[in-house]
A and B are shown apart, each in its own frame.
Chain A
Amino acid sequence: MTDVNRRKLLTVCALAPFGLAIASKFGFGAEGGNTKTSDVKPVAFETAKGSAASRRFPNVEVINHEGKKLRFYDDLIKDKMVMINFFYAKCDKFCPIQTANLVKVQKLLGDRVGRDIFMYSLTLKPEEDSPEALNHYVMMNDIKPGWQLLTGRPGDMEELRVKLGFRDSDPEIDKDKSNHIGLVLFGNDKLNRWTGCPAASSPQEIVREVLWLDEAIPSSGD
């Protein structure tokens, strides 16, 4: 052992009682230095999940393209695996590309959409996107069941947009709605697992990433 190693080890030894004290507080011993992950049951877990989830998602009322009223968190997010993006029906510059892309994603995901994966597109212009307008968009774009288009009170939709991170800290850029359509967010509320990718990514790539939300994560290279 080099001199460096010996000195560092002495430091480690000096800190060891501190480490043990923490371990015992958690109700597991330091068994030969191997932390048994299954034994770690932090007390604060339920509280953490509950408070984090409710803070993340405003539980506002939204209306889907079939005119059905829903609570955003309770009915659409809670314990589900979901994909979320923002758009508006009359957005003809970027939205068509992204919608077409997500239609391919829906096809690739097959019957999982509506069964255990749910897709939501939230309008950025609730004042012009009525449930009827959204329903028309669904029919025009070959959107299948399991993918709901959502509108609601403008203030609520705005809160959803900002809380879900589809915003820009520069107010001028934030005003331009086309700056909020570039991302698709996906998550598994039950697992607290969330990420996102550009909505213009290849459909295969989006599907590959969405499947990482499964409890049994597909192997690398699958």
Chain B
Amino acid sequence: MNRRELMKLGLAGGVALAASGGATELLAFKDGGSSGSGGQIVSGGNKLPDSMSAPSPKTTPWAVEMPRMKVAVPKAMGPDGYTALTGAAITPQNCLSPDDCVQRSVKQQYNSFYPIKWYEMTESEGPHVWHPDLPTQPVWGYDGDFPGPLFISRYDEPELLRIHNQLPTTNSSLGFGIPSTTTHSHNLHIASESDGFPGDYVNVGQLHDHHIAMCYPGFTTPVGEDRRESLGTTWYHDHRQDFTAQNTYAGLVGMRTCYDYLDTGDETTGLRLPSGDFDVPIVLADKAFDAKTGLLYFNLFNFDGMLGDKLTANGMIQPKMTVEARRYRFRFLVAGPSRFFQLHLSDNSAMCRIANDGNIFPYPVFQQQIMLGVAERADVIIDFAKYGAGKSLYLYNTAEQVNGRGPTGNILNPGDPMIRFDIVPAKAHDYSVMPTATTQMRPMPAVNLSEVVAQRSFKLERSNGGWAINGRAYDENVISAHVKRNTAELWTLTNSSGSWSHPMHIHFEEFQILSRNGVAPPPWERCRKDVAVVHPNETVQFFMRFRDWTGRYPMHCHNTVHEDHAMMIRWELEA
């Protein structure tokens, strides 16, 4: 079977080359869920999206090495653990007010997960080079950078993260955004007070402390914490109500990788995955630039979504990456606001995918095309040794998308090249191990339907030019679901909104997809997830456990333009 045939099958029939539990096999699905409308193969790359009136200025591809994220460094700790942090006066309980004191030290179980690592970062405007052919220009970033610092976290090592808002107070030099922020740590199991609720914002000059417990979920349940529910690739981003798309587009995005006993960050232990310099988080984001000035452009008046014509990796347009002829672990994040990415290698080889949404699979899945909705992640292992030094390999985006509604379902051939990997000889021995189809990785927690105490349905709708969930626009004072702590529920999301795709994200707890339009999900979705893309005319059902911290959490569309126009609900975890 040649590439063309396979790709056609991969779309039209929803067929995927997959491996599970030992054998590489061709699995067929009635509705593969990765395409909107039974697509075609289309020659070329993406056309100018409708959120732009003119193409961005020309830039030379592969001119610059892909930037690597700065690693966040914990503050040296004072004798009481507090003096290292600066800013507003704090008490030994680390409170901002008497109420906050109770919330933080008691409700967040601050002392049970007492921070042993202390971080501080500042949201600020800083200079950025998107490409040497464009002017150096301001972005809003954590510590002034896009992407922000990379947090390297370990389970059972709780952290305190203090974030200062020092964005410019007056006229944004960007032409969009709001200098008022709330930072969401996407998929972390942390209390509502630290979760970055959309209305929990801080203004310029203020700070917010985030208690990053780095604990496994289930510690308040009779069965105890579940170490199978370890997270790997996560990210953090601004979640300001009404302005998430603009503020994240401005650069308020960063990543966090979490390690534990299995995914150790050491090539000689645990799963022996490529580590250190060879474990590479990559933020993928599309951007638009003003044709005349070359400055970052955001279309404030396109409510379908914001698409750009320049594809960036770690903040650089079409970079090259010099790689050694050895194994690498890439952690791809699609940062939005609205574009879906389909990852594809220029030699058409299947990528060994080890994780979805940062969660390591029970067994690897091999995919030639990896479709990612906004906020979804894919961890893949690529062995450059098999190509040899002196060769180059390209990573493409093959998803066709012309507006913010979602991908057309067509596969572009060859698509838009995003990164060129230039292979050089390996400098040292590669101790990592390439997982095979039979490599047991992280076991899955069982779906036990007898735990289910409630079923809920959410209709994703379009009405009068806006979005709604169950007929309502977002209102932070309205609680759309009261969920009892330490129970499980079945949630069903139905997308009746015509031709829109909605990557739906739920804070705090993960879920396991049971079905898409009544059919089992594809192998790469048989895992724990925090984003479920719901395509047009699709119904997705999942099983979800709700544990530990009570409080308010949202569910929303992660096409952040939809989110900002009220496609969100608040649900409450109650004791």
Question: What residues of chain A have their CB less than 8 Å away from a CB belonging to chain B?
Answer: 2-5, 7-9, 11-12, 15, 22-23, 25-26, 33-35, 37-38, 40, 42, 44-45, 47-49, 51-52, 55-56, 94, 163-166, 168-170, 173, 178-183, 185, 187, 190-202, 205, 209, 212, 215, 217, 219-221
Judged by a CB distance under 8 angstroms, whether B44 is at the interface is: no
User: What is the distance, in angstroms, from B473's C-beta to the closest C-beta of chain A?
Assistant: 4
Residues of chain B contacted by A196 (CB below 8 angstroms):
242, 303, 565
| Least CB distance, B200 to chain A, in whole angstroms | 6
- Asked, given contacts A5-B152, A34-B122, whether A51 binds B290 with beta carbons under 8 Å apart, the answer is yes
- Contact residues of B between 110 and 153, Cβ < 8 Å to A: 122, 124-129, 135-138, 143-144, 150, 152
- Picked from B127, B143, B178, B295, the residue with its CB within 8 Å of the CB of A40 is B127
Task: State whether A220 touches B277 (Cβ < 8 A).
Answer: no
> Are A8 and B277 touching (Cβ within 8 A)?
yes
Closest 10 CB pairs of A and B: A182-B464, A165-B301, A198-B473, A8-B71, A182-B466, A7-B276, A182-B465, A35-B144, A195-B242, A52-B175
Which chain B residues border A197 with CB–CB below 8 Å? 242, 473, 565-566
Measured CB to CB, the closest approach of chain B to A207, in angstroms, equals 12
CB distance from B276 to the nearest CB of A (A): 4
A/B interface sample: 18 pairs, CB < 8 A:
A15-B68, A35-B144, A37-B144, A37-B167, A40-B125, A48-B174, A52-B297, A165-B302, A165-B303, A169-B403, A170-B499, A181-B465, A187-B300, A194-B300, A196-B242, A198-B464, A198-B566, A217-B178
CA distance A135 to B202 in the complex (A): 42
Inter-chain CA distance A159–B174, complex, in Å, is 25
**Given A7-B277, A8-B152, A165-B302, 12 more pairs with CB closer than 8 A:** A4-B259, A4-B276, A8-B68, A8-B277, A15-B67, A37-B167, A48-B174, A51-B292, A178-B464, A179-B465, A191-B171, A201-B475
The reply to whether A181 and B242 contact each other, CB–CB distance below 8 Å, is no
Whether B83 sits at the interface, judged by CB under 8 Å, is no
Closest to B476 in A: A205
A44 and B169 CA atoms in complex are apart in Å by: 18
Instruction: Enumerate chain B residues within 8 angstroms of A8, measured Cβ to Cβ.
Output: 68, 71, 150, 152, 276-277
B166 interface residue, CB < 8 Å from A?
yes
Kindly report which residue of chain A lies nearest to residue B301, judged by CB atoms. Answer: A165
Give every chain B residue within 8 A of A2 (Cβ-Cβ): 152, 265
Q: Decide if B297 touches A192 in the complex (CB within 8 Å).
A: no
Task: Tell me whether A25 and B465 are in contact (CB under 8 A).
Answer: no
Interface assignment of B304: CB less than 8 Å from any CB of chain A: yes
- Docked CA distance A94–B167 (Å): 40
Residues of A within 8 A of B464 (CB): 94, 178-183, 198-200
Q: Complex formed: what's the CA distance from A33 to B122 in Å?
A: 11
- The verdict on A200 contacting B177 (CB below 8 Å), with A169-B50, A182-B466 known, is no
Question: Are A56 and B125 interface neighbours, CB within 8 A?
Answer: no
Q: In the complex, are the beta carbons of A194 and B465 less than 8 A apart?
A: no
0/1 per residue, B547-575, Cβ < 8 Å to A? 00000000000000000111000000000
A35 and B143 contact, Cβ closer than 8 Å, known pairs A3-B266, A182-B464, A212-B178: yes
> Closest approach, in angstroms, between the C-beta of B27 and any C-beta of chain A?
34
Q: Measured between alpha carbons, how far is A128 from B57 in the docked complex, in Å? A: 43
Bound-state CA distance A152–B292 (Å) is 31
Given the complex, which residues of B lie within 8 Å of A190, measured CB to CB? 171
Interface string of B446-477 (1 = CB under 8 A from A): 00000000000000000111101000011111
* Closest chain A residue, CB of each to CB of B302: A165
Partner of A25, one of B136, B171, B290: B136
Measured between alpha carbons, how far is A212 from B125 in the docked complex, in Å? 20
Known: A197-B566, A219-B203. A23 touches B295 (CB 8 A): no
State the CA gap A164–B302 with chains docked (Å): 8
Q: Is the CB of B295 within 8 A of A166?
A: no
Rounded to whole angstroms, the CA-CA distance of A220 and B174 in the bound complex is 24
Check A180–B465 contact: CB distance below 8 A.
yes
Q: Least Cβ distance of B209 to chain A in Å?
A: 14
Partner of A192, one of B67, B122, B150, B176: B176
Closest to A49 in B: B175
Chain A: CB-nearest residue to B143: A35
Beta-carbon contact of B127 and A56 below 8 Å? no
Given the complex of chains A and B, what is the CA–CA distance between A31 and B372 in angstroms? 39
B65 → A minimal CB distance (Å): 9
CB neighbours (8 Å) of B24 from chain A are none
**Closest chain B residue to A14, Cβ basis:** B68
Nearest CB on A from B531, distance (A): 23
A106 to B71, CA, bound (A): 49
Interface centre among B71, B129, B301, B403 (most CB of A within 10 A): B301
Task: Check: B173 CB closer than 8 A to any chain A CB.
Answer: yes
B270 an interface residue at 8 Å Cβ cutoff?
A: no
**Is B180 among interface residues, defined by CB-CB distance under 8 A?**
yes
CB distance from B243 to the nearest CB of A (A): 6
Given A26-B127, A191-B170, A48-B175 contact (CB < 8 Å)? yes
Across the interface, which residues of A come within 8 angstroms of B144, CB to CB?
Answer: 35, 37
With a CB–CB cut-off of 8 A, which chain A residues contact B138? 40, 42
Whether the Cβ atoms of B127 and A23 lie closer than 8 Å is: yes
Question: B440: shortest Cβ distance to chain A, in Å?
Answer: 24
Asked if A198 contacts B466 (CB within 8 A), the reply is: yes
Complex: how many Å from CA A78 to CA B466? Answer: 26
CB < 8 Å neighbour of B242 from A11, A47, A191, A212: A212
